[in-house]
């Protein structure tokens, strides 16, 4: 493993300095690792045609070699360099959604080393919409394999500081262009299956894809697979976005959630557990009397703001040293549409499936028992 310090290039997010971009592109061409901002999260890039460089991504991230990487392109014309048997609908989707947060799984071109796809005969591709990512991809004129630039199973990085927190000294360069605009990863769809299958909800609303893919198969809720099953659609592992404290998702109506917190938090306090609360602004105002560390993520009515802040807040709890984090979730209806689907998916995984549904039909006593069963 490298021991050199990671170089940080600060660039303007809209008009990045061409000299910095050229230096980063040169590093990529030489097989080195460069983290860069995309519109979703920061990615950790390597030359996708260089098996050795790709292997270094897995090592730097401590990512299992079974979890495939997304290949980033500067231009639709590069598709035929990395994929074969490309269906017409892939071009229609690219035309409508690229550059943007939509990843297409296609048949892998033999020129793309197998470790990019963790041995599969498929390859995931997308064209990112961030000016810095596009400038870098154009400057190096190579397909760039780039998973999120975090250590495996940590929340994805939405700032260069998050990248350094996880990977300082383990990668060559990070290009810092400020926080990423969307804050959640891309939507992934598999076009090699019939019917096509949603593998991960993300920055592109699934509802918008239906015009092109009327038969798109979407799982009912967050798709959670065991270590073994996850081979088919990696990234669906339950524990995929976990902060260090134990997250419990608190679903249901606002008043009921606040009432439950007022009975549950003192119980945890008495057990010596430090409590964190991840709440929308309006609910945060109602818990000042509780002994808990409170972080907010805007209004649940504004999913784009929630998405932008979610991972940063989960990371912040790590340094605050809390044991249990109650996180409020978007309501059931919002969890089925647009960004709400991706937000619920990430929160559910951060909570490793632990959900408490508050409401009039369930007593505080039952909820407390359910909570105690979840505790470490």
Position 133 contacts ligand AMP (CB under 6 A)? no
Q: Let me know the angle formed at the C-alpha of 181 by 207 and 60, rounded to the nearest 5 degrees.
A: 100
Q: Which does 200 bind (CB under 5 to 8 A by kind): ligand AMP, Mg ion, none?
A: ligand AMP
CA distance 292 to 65: 39
Q: Which does 166 bind (CB under 5 to 8 A by kind): ligand AMP, Mg ion, none?
A: none
CA distance 172 to 176: 13
Determine phi and psi for 108, rounding to 5 degrees: -75, 135
CB distance 283 to 295 below 8 Å: no
**Smaller CB separation from Mg ion, 133 or 213:** 133
CA distance 168 to 145: 19
Residues 6+ apart with CB under 8 A from 54: 46, 47, 48, 69, 113, 115, 116, 145
Stretch that binds ligand AMP, among 117-125, 130-138, 271-279, 285-293 (CB under 6 A): 117-125
Q: How far is the CB of 34 from ligand AMP (least distance, A)?
A: 15
Helix, strand, coil percentages in the chain from 3-state DSSP, rounded to 5: 35, 20, 45
Position 148 contacts Mg ion (CB under 5 A)? yes
**CB atoms near residue 126 (< 10 Å):** 25
Stretch that binds ligand AMP, among 11-19, 66-74, 170-178, 337-345 (CB under 6 A): 66-74
**Smaller CB separation from ligand AMP, 283 or 352:** 352
Interacting residues with ligand AMP between 97 and 116 (CB under 6 A): 105
CA distance 151 to 1: 14
Q: Which does 16 bind (CB under 5 to 8 A by kind): ligand AMP, Mg ion, none?
A: none
**Smaller CB separation from ligand AMP, 24 or 106:** 106
CA distance 375 to 65: 31
Among 38, 47, 78, 148, binds ligand AMP (CB under 6 A): 148
Interacting residues with ligand AMP between 75 and 94 (CB under 6 A): none
Q: How far is the CB of 72 from ligand AMP (least distance, A)?
A: 10
Please, how many CA atoms are within 13 Å of residue 45, restricted to the half-sphere of its CB? 31
Position 67 contacts ligand AMP (CB under 6 A)? yes
Tell me if the bond preceding 179 is cis, omega within 30° of 0: no
Closest CA relative to residue 343, chosen from 313, 373, 310, 371: 310
Among 200, 328, 349, 354, binds ligand AMP (CB under 6 A): 200
Among 90, 188, 257, 307, binds ligand AMP (CB under 6 A): 188
**Smaller CB separation from ligand AMP, 110 or 272:** 110
Among 70, 82, 264, 277, binds ligand AMP (CB under 6 A): 70
Stretch that binds Mg ion, among 18-26, 117-125, 147-155, 323-331 (CB under 5 A): 147-155
Radius of gyration of the chain (CA): 21
Q: How many residues bind ligand AMP, per CB under 6 A? A: 18
CB distance 42 to 36 below 8 Å: yes
Q: How far is the CB of 189 from ligand AMP (least distance, A)?
A: 9
CA distance 172 to 108: 28
Stretch that binds Mg ion, among 83-91, 97-105, 145-153, 211-219 (CB under 5 A): 145-153
Among 100, 235, 245, 340, binds ligand AMP (CB under 6 A): 235
Q: How far is the CB of 68 from ligand AMP (least distance, A)?
A: 3
CB distance 127 to 98 below 8 Å: yes
CB distance 352 to 251 below 8 Å: no
Contact positions vs ligand AMP (CB under 6 A): 67-68, 70, 105, 117, 120, 122-124, 147-148, 185, 188, 199-200, 233-235
Contact positions vs Mg ion (CB under 5 A): 148
């Amino acid at each position: 493993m490298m021991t050199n310090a990671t170089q940080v290039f600060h660039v303007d997010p809209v008009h990045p300095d061409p000299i910095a971009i050229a230096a980063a592109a040169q590093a990529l061409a030489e097989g080195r690792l460069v983290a860069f901002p995309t519109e979703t999260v920061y990615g950790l890039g390597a030359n996708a045609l260089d098996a050795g460089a790709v292997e270094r991504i897995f090592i730097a991230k401590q990512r299992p070699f079974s979890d495939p990487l997304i290949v980033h392109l500067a231009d639709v014309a590069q598709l035929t360099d990395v994929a074969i048997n490309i269906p017409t609908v892939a071009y229609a989707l690219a035309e409508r959604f690229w550059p943007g947060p939509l990843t297409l799984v296609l048949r892998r071109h033999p020129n793309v080393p197998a470790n990019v796809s963790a041995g599969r005969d498929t390859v995931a591709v997308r064209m990112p919409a961030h000016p810095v990512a596009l400038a870098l991809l154009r400057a190096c004129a190579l397909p760039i394999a780039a998973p999120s630039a975090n250590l495996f199973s940590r929340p994805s990085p939405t700032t260069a500081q998050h990248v350094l927190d996880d990977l300082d000294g383990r990668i060559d360069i990070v290009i810092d262009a400020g926080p990423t605009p969307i804050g959640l990863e891309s939507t992934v769809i598999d076009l090699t299956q019939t019917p096509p299958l949603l593998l991960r909800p993300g920055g592109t609303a699934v509802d918008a894809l239906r015009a092109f893919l009327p038969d798109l198969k979407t799982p009912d809720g967050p798709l959670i697979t065991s270590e073994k099953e996850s081979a088919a659609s990696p990234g669906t592992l339950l524990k995929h976005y976990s902060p260090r404290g134990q997250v419990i998702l608190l679903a249901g109506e606002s008043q009921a959630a606040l009432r439950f917190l007022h009975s549950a938090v003192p119980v945890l306090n008495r057990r010596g557990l430090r409590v964190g609360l991840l709440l929308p602004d309006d609910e945060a105002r109602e818990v000042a009397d509780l002994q808990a560390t409170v972080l907010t993520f805007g209004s649940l009515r504004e999913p784009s703001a929630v998405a932008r802040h979610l991972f940063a807040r989960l990371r912040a709890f790590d340094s605050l040293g809390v044991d249990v984090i109650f996180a409020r979730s978007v309501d059931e209806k919002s969890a089925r549409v647009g960004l709400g689907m991706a937000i619920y998916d990430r929160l559910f995984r951060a909570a490793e499936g632990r959900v408490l549904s508050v409401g009039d039909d369930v007593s505080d006593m039952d909820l407390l028992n359910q909570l105690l069963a979840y505790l470490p």
